[in-house]
């Protein structure tokens, strides 16, 4: 595989985006390209560990770091862009932990050595970047505005950041590095949405947790948290909730019919990905933005509003 | 301290009966058994009935074990336990505490610091509810990283109360195993399979045939997402990584077992 050109970035798709969440994957690629950066998937990627391996020491760090090695070796890129907040968390966590702790770095490199896939040792010199932060800092709000051909006038959006995009700052460096978003009150998605011509609503649950990790083994907790978020956004007048993480989608979108069954119609509100709305405003069709993939049926409200 | 119930005349004046310890601030932090409440209470021979008829027996930790502290510190997730100064910020910011009042990261960390297994054991039923939202770690003034301390807590639970874990944490453990087998075994997650296996494990296969569940599955089959996992396969050369990870985990386990004297 060839090394990247200047207007290309190494991209980690992760497991969800190539399957169930293809709408997020494809719309991320569409809007990035429109803004002047082509996302190039790293070949042969493996699962980031999705938070389930944390207690397994170096094994949990090897998983994301193997992908960093691929990006460097095959595409010549130290950095890796990703759209899933859970992947982003696992990558940032691993890079920072081995940076801080020589023993952990040694343990990870022993696994690398034994696997024998790469000639060099892993050196923590690259970064994982969440697509929202990446587009915001590399291209900026002006570039978004420039590309809007169909402003989302009259659409009220509740931006939902969830947890791992901005927390904890010991891994994400939000609040700590210049140019990073704020951990308690992130703004990047707000600014993007407003640049699209949409109206953002304040509803208080922007950085609340969806309980996504517990979706399978502890529905009780997850559903309660989701219902709180959806009903608050609805009460604040939102037409849709915009997401930046497929795990949040699993909790808020895929499970929404069950949540409504349990908590009633107050917990019913269409869910979309931020990049789908961006694609729509950039002139791509609703079909290209794959709104029909969402279980919560955002197409109804989008049609009603005349988009 | 001797506590006796002083049986004076029973007034029975028709006043509403309060719940035990109802007026104690942060009542949920105190166990029922530790609250003594009598109409007429005599402590050490002194009649303290009247306004002062509630007494909280102090918790005395006599069987704690400091070596425990070192044990947890050695794990990657629990490595910052020594920094905690028990300010309670983690519990104050926790997403789960308002839903389950007995879920208390500060208290769990305290019990782990003391190695108080007897107390910890009482919380097996809620200890696994952490959603990993990292609010606690964001706000902890000492950067203890309590979110990962909750992972360390799970390690403790598994190691010392394996029997209870088998019954009380059954589903959590089984789902974790499904994840782990997929992540290490195949290098990638098959989300659809993960979901169906977990539903099977929890005996909820019937639900999958229900209207809601079927609706979502039907949508995904119709638009092709349900089958997209098939073409994904494994990463090339994954087997060498798989072997190296398994060897590492095996070594990790051997060290743990020899330390625990298993
Ligand atoms: S916030 Fe940090 S220092 Fe305070 S009690 Fe929790 S873990 Fe300890
Ligand atoms: S990570 Fe767990 S312990 Fe920390 S705030 Fe979230 S739910 Fe509470």
Q: Is the CB of B150 under 6 A from ligand 2?
A: yes
* Domains of chain A with bracketed CATH: 8-129 (1.20.1050.140), 143-305 (3.40.50.11810)
Q: How many whole angstroms separate alpha carbon A253 and alpha carbon A255?
A: 5
Q: Does B237 touch chain A (CB under 8 A)?
A: yes
Instruction: Give the end-to-end CA distance of chain B in Å, rounded to a whole number.
Output: 41
Is pLDDT of B17 > 70?
Answer: no
Q: E strand or H helix at B41, and its extent?
A: strand B41-43
CB of B93 within 8 Å of a chain A CB? The answer is: no
Distance, in Å, from the CA atom of A125 to the CA atom of A105, rounded to the nearest integer, reads 12
**B249 vs A222: CB contact, 8 Å cut-off?**
no
**Nearest-angstrom CA–CA distance, A95 and A64:** 9
Among A109, A105, A46, A110, smallest CA distance to A80 is for A46
Three-point CA angle A199, A201, A206, nearest 5°: 125
Query: With 60 as the cut, is the pLDDT of residue B2 above it?
Result: no
Across the beta sheet with A271-273, the strand order is A199-200, A156-159, A240-243, A271-273
**Residue B52 has what pLDDT?**
62
User: What are B205's two structure tokens?
Assistant: 């296969």
Nearest Cα to Cα of residue B175 among A46, A213, A59: A213
The angle at the Cα of B213, spanning B208 to B218, to the nearest 5 degrees, equals 105
- Is pLDDT larger for residue A16 or for residue B140? B140
pLDDT digits (tens, 9 = 90+) for B136-157: 999 999 999 999 999 999 998 9
Structure tokens at B55: 């007494």
Integer Cα distance of A70 and A72 in angstroms = 5
Name which residue sits closest to atom 2 of ligand 2, judged by CA: B130
Shortest CA distance to A159 belongs to which of A128, A198, A125?
A198
Tokens of A271: 């869910």
Comparing CA positions, the residue from A203, A222, A183 lying closest to residue B136 is A183
A50/B157 Cα distance (integer angstroms): 22
Q: Is A88 on the interface with B (CB under 8 A)?
A: no
> Cβ(A81)–Cβ(A133) under 8 Å?
no
A117: three-class secondary structure by DSSP: coil
Per-residue confidence (pLDDT) for residue B10, from 0 to 100: 44
Q: Decide if B229 contacts B190 (C-beta within 8 A).
A: yes
Give the least confident one: A109-123, B6-20, B52-66, B128-142: B6-20
Cα–Cα distance measured from residue B213 to residue B193, given in angstroms and rounded to the nearest whole number: 14
Report the run of H or E that residue A9 belongs to, with start and end: strand A8-12
> Region A275-286: what's the mean pLDDT?
98
Report yes or no: A18 and B228 within 8 Å, Cβ to Cβ: yes
Report yes or no: A124 at the B interface, CB cutoff 8 Å: no
pLDDT at position B225: 79
Q: How far apart are CA A72 and CA A67, in angstroms?
A: 9
pLDDT value of position A245: 96
Instruction: Output the pLDDT for position B261.
Output: 55
Element (H, E) at A156: strand A156-159
Q: Which tokens belong to A53?
A: 């391996």
Give the span between the Cα atoms of B12 and B165, in whole angstroms: 46
Q: How far is CA A112 from the centre of its chain?
A: 27
The fold for domain B66-168 equals Fumarate Reductase Iron-sulfur Protein; Chain B, domain 2 (1.10.1060)
pLDDT of residue B7: 44
Domain with CATH 1.10.1060.10 in chain B: 66-168
Cα gap A267→A233, rounded to integer Å: 9
Poorest-pLDDT segment among A289-293, B20-24, B121-125, B145-149: B20-24
pLDDT band of B11, cuts 50, 70, 90: very low
* Averaged confidence pLDDT in chain A: 95
Ligand 2 proximity of B110 Cβ (cutoff 6 Å): no
Residues of B in contact with A169 (CB under 8 A): 138
**A184 chain-B contacts, CB cut-off 8 A:** 138
Nearest-neighbour CA in chain A from B56: distance (Å)? 31
């Amino acid at each position: 595989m060839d090394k990247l050109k200047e207007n290309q970035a190494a991209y980690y798709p992760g497991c969800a985006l190539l399957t169930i969440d293809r709408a997020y994957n494809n719309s991320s690629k569409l809007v990035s390209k429109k803004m002047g950066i082509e996302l190039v998937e790293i070949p042969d990627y493996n699962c980031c560990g999705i938070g389930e391996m944390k207690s397994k020491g170096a094994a949990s760090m090897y998983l994301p770091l193997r992908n960093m090695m691929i990006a460097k070796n095959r595409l010549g890129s130290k950095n890796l862009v990703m759209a899933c907040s859970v992947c982003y968390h696992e990558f940032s966590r691993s890079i920072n932990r081995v940076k801080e702790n020589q023993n952990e770095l040694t343990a990870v490199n022993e696994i690398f050595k034994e696997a024998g896939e790469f000639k060099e040792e892993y050196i923590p010199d690259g970064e994982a970047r969440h697509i929202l932060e990446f587009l915001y800092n590399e291209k900026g709000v002006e570039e978004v505005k420039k590309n809007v051909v169909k402003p989302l006038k009259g659409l009220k959006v509740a931006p939902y950041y969830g947890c791992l995009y901005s927390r904890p700052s010991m891994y994400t460096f939000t609040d700590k590095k210049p140019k990073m978003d704020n951990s308690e009150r992130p703004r990047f998605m707000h600014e993007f949405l407003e640049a699209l011509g949409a109206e953002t609503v304040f509803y208080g649950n922007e950085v609340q947790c969806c309980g996504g990790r517990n979706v399978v083994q502890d529905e009780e907790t997850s559903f309660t948290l989701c219902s709180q978020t959806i009903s608050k956004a609805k009460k604040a007048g939102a037409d849709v909730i915009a997401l930046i993480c497929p795990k949040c989608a699993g909790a808020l979108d895929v499970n929404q019919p069950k949540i409504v069954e349990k908590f009633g119609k107050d917990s019913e509100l269409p869910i979309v990905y931020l990049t789908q709305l961006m694609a729509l405003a950039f002139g791509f069709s609703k079909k290209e933005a794959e709104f029909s993939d969402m279980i919560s049926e955002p197409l109804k409200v989008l049609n009603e509003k005349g988009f | 301290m001797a506590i006796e119930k002083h049986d004076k005349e029973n007034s029975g004046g028709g006043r509403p009966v309060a719940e035990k310890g109802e007026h104690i601030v942060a009542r949920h932090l105190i166990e029922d058994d530790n609250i003594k409440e009598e109409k007429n209470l005599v402590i050490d021979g002194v009649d303290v009935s009247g306004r002062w008829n509630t007494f909280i027996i102090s918790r005395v930790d006599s069987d704690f074990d400091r070596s425990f502290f070192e044990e947890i510190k050695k794990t990657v997730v629990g490595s910052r336990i020594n920094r905690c100064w028990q300010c309670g910020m983690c519990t104050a910011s926790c997403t789960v505490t308002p839903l389950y009042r007995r879920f208390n990261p500060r208290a769990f960390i305290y019990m782990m610091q003391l190695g108080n297994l007897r107390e910890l054991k009482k919380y097996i039923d809620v200890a696994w509810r952490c959603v990993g939202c990292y609010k606690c770690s964001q706000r902890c003034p000492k950067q203890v990283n309590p979110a990962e301390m909750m992972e360390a807590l799970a390690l403790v639970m598994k190691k010392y109360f394996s029997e209870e874990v088998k019954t009380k944490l059954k589903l959590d453990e089984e789902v974790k195993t499904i994840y782990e087998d997929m992540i290490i075994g195949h290098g990638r997650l098959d989300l659809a399979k993960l979901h169906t296996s977990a539903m099977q494990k929890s005996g909820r296969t019937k639900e999958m045939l229900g209207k809601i569940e079927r609706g979502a599955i039907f949508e995904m089959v119709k638009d092709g997402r349900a089958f997209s996992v098939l073409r994904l396969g494994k990463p090339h050369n994954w087997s060498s990584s798989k072997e190296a990870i398994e060897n590492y985990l095996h070594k990790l386990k051997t060290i743990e077992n020899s330390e625990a004297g298993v």
